[in-house]
Amino acid sequence: MAAHVDALVAATRNIALPPDRRATLDHYIERLQRGHATPPRCPCQGYRGDPSQLGGTLRITGRVTHAGWSEMRVTCDACARSFQVTEDVGYHVPQYDWRAL
Cα–Cα distance between 96 and 44 in angstroms, integer?
A: 14
Strands 69-76 and 58-66, how do they pair? antiparallel
Site track 2-31 with Zn ion (rule: CB under 5 A), x = hit: ------------------------------
Question: CB-wise, 70 or 82, nearer to Zn ion?
Answer: 82
Query: Quick count: other Cβ atoms within 10 Å of Cβ 43?
Result: 14
51 burial (CB, 10 Å; 0-12 / 13-18 / 19+) is: buried
Write each residue from 32 to 51 as x if it is in contact with Zn ion (CB under 5 A), else as -, in one continuous string. Answer: ----------x-x-------
Which of 54, 78, 84, 86 is close enough to bind Zn ion by CB under 5 A? 78
Binding site residues, Zn ion, CB under 5 A: 42, 44, 76, 78-79, 81
